Amino acid sequence: MAATNDAQMWVRDDEHVWKTAPADGDDQHKLNPSLETDMTSLWYLHEPGILHNLKGRYAETEPYTYVAHLLVAVNPLRPIPMPPMQSVRDAASLSGVDPHPYAIAESAYRALLLPKAVAQSQSIVVSGESGAGKTESTKIIMRYLAWRAGAGASEAPASSSFNDRVVQSNPILESLGNAKTQRNHNSSRFGKFIKLAFAPAPAGTAPLLEGGRIDTYLLEKSRLAYQCTGERNFHIFYEMLAGAAPSQHDEWHFGKRTAADFHYLNTSGCLSVAEHDDAAEYANLGARSTRWARHPPSSRSSSAASPRASTSVISAASRRPPRPKSPPAPRPRTPSPSPIRALSPRRRRCSGSR
């Protein structure tokens, strides 16, 4: 909805926040003549102009929009077609590529290909409110980086299975740490700091994906004992009850009970989610866990003298990632002057607060 009548302005509205109306009053803003893929190109950059641009692109099934080097994603709440990864990789300039997480990931990967003197590790921050699509955006970025490293390397067939195992860690984490909330059927109830390490490569060749590490923090432990109405406990409990074999139920002493028979699962009144097939997800979880047990994704061996480039993907970035811990320096032990003092409550409180 782009208006060309100069008399029409954006004015505040109690029901729709902003609406178009004839110019009248002080709190009013001019309309933009067109929608833009990069909102820094808008003629008039203001709140109603930004919201209208995002809404207009969303209506055209374009949920991604740039703000300079930032990518704004409006959750489409349904699967949408992905562009070919090859088209993003082969683009001479990313400025001509439509807004998409692939382009953000490609930009970070290309920065790893710069000469050693100027190359630096890259970070991608995925942030937003609950239900904004952080989990899916993170998976899209990781999928592209794993594919890009395998497709650009000369030994792609040998490394493809390793890259796949790095990406397959996501469903395992989702089963153990995601749950249905009132706003999102697959909400991550913890923060993630994901680090992908790339082995140094000779000039003119692409670096190989060498390994990955995922640090989790701030798990919502209270969800184990209580969930609000319409929400669920963590996916894994419902998946085990719906998808496990009868022999597993007997081994776990479940018998023939279902989620409705367990107090920690039935108090919220929500036992199933249409968008989440518990039985199918458990089958996928078992298959991935078996592949991990046979081929654990340990880091490839490489020269210790060669520095490794890395790309970090920080999901749920509103939660601060943990600082890397360095081993504490050993302290000399001195005998306590008195056993009573060593075991006093005050002494124990001080040691426990460290």
* Span 63-84, pLDDT tens digits: 999 999 999 999 998 889 999 9
- On whether residue 17 sits in a domain, the answer given is yes
Cα(first)–Cα(last) distance of the chain, in Å? 59
Contact at 8 Å (CB) between 46 and 59?
no
- On whether residue 42 sits in a domain, the answer given is yes
Look at residue 152 and tell me whether its pLDDT is greater than 80.
no
Write out the residue range of the structural domain in which residue 31 sits.
1-79
pLDDT at site 130: 85
pLDDT at site 246: 93
pLDDT at site 333: 55
- On whether residue 135 sits in a domain, the answer given is no
Look at residue 243 and tell me whether its pLDDT is greater than 70.
yes
Look at residue 348 and tell me whether its pLDDT is greater than 60.
no
pLDDT at site 126: 95
- The sign of the dihedral angle between the CA atoms of 311, 316, 320, 324 is negative
- Residue 242: pLDDT band (50, 70, 90) is very high
pLDDT at site 2: 43
The contacts found for 315-318 with CB under 8 angstroms, 24 or more apart, are 315/126, 315/134, 315/135, 315/138, 315/188, 315/191, 315/192, 315/193, 315/194, 316/126, 316/127, 316/134, 316/188, 316/190, 316/191, 316/192, 317/125, 317/126, 317/127, 317/191, 318/127
Backbone φ, ψ for residue 2 (5° rounding): -115, 120
- On whether residue 66 sits in a domain, the answer given is yes
Task: Please indicate whether residue 352 or residue 334 has the higher confidence score (pLDDT).
Answer: 334
Q: How large is the average pLDDT for residues 75-99?
A: 93
Look at residue 144 and tell me whether its pLDDT is greater than 70.
yes
> What average pLDDT does the structure give for the chain?
80
Look at residue 302 and tell me whether its pLDDT is greater than 70.
no
Instruction: Report the candidate in 197, 201, 215, 207 with the shortest Cα–Cα distance to residue 298.
Output: 197
Instruction: Report the candidate in 49, 51, 15, 55 with the shortest Cα–Cα distance to residue 30.
Output: 49
- Residue 11: pLDDT band (50, 70, 90) is confident
pLDDT at site 300: 45
Q: How many domains does the chain have?
A: 1
For residue 261, what are its two tokens? Answer: 């028979």
| Pairing state between β 178-179 and 70-73 | unpaired
- On whether residue 6 sits in a domain, the answer given is yes
- On whether residue 43 sits in a domain, the answer given is yes
pLDDT at site 204: 65
